[in-house]
Amino acid sequence: MTQREVFIDWIEGITHWTTKLDMTFKWNCNEFNAKRHFTTWMRKELPGSTYLYSIETDPNQAKVAKSGQGLNQSVHIHAISDTKWEILRAKKGQLRKHAWASWMNEYGRNRIEPVKNVTEATGYALKKVLNYSEAREDTKSHVRKTDVDWALVFGLGKHAARIEKEARQKTIPKI
């Protein structure tokens, strides 16, 4: 197995990933503000969810008006979560469309959809971290040498605490 495959296998084993999130911003948001807005929104809207996210610089940066370089670069977010929609629906009446509308009203376009293939969703969420090349032969390092920001964040509650404890007991693969 390549380092990329080992890392994705480890991520897949942490929890049952149910939801894929692609989040954008109405304005030219930099990576620091994107991280703050996204993590705050997740704590507010989906506090029990464990999630993995990466912040990617817009590939069409040259087409973004007044974007410039450095901190002014526009970004978007790729993420996966273990959100238990059936529990949210039963206990709070919250649906995926409510989370979608909340982000849309506050920040901009987004897509929140069920995970159809966990490996593809994980690879997509980490595509800029892992170079998004399954055929890559160089196994020295699959991590980009860029400022891509990413994190694995454990949610609140007993379920997330158990997942975090189990994840910390497993050997974290070197990437």
pLDDT in tens, 10-55: 888 888 899 999 999 988 888 888 999 999 999 999 998 999 998 8
Domain locations along the chain: 3-169
Q: Give 116-165 pLDDT, tens digit per residue.
A: 988 888 877 877 666 544 444 444 544 444 445 788 889 988 888 988 88
SS3 category, 110: strand
pLDDT at 175 over 60: no
Report the candidate in 99, 103, 105, 23 with the shortest Cα–Cα distance to residue 56: 23
Task: Give dist(CA 156, CA 83) in Å, integer.
Answer: 12
Helix or strand holding residue 118 (H, E): helix 118-125
Rounded to 10 deg, the angle between the 118-125 and 3-12 helix axes is 110
- Predicted TM-score (pTM) of this structure: 0.79
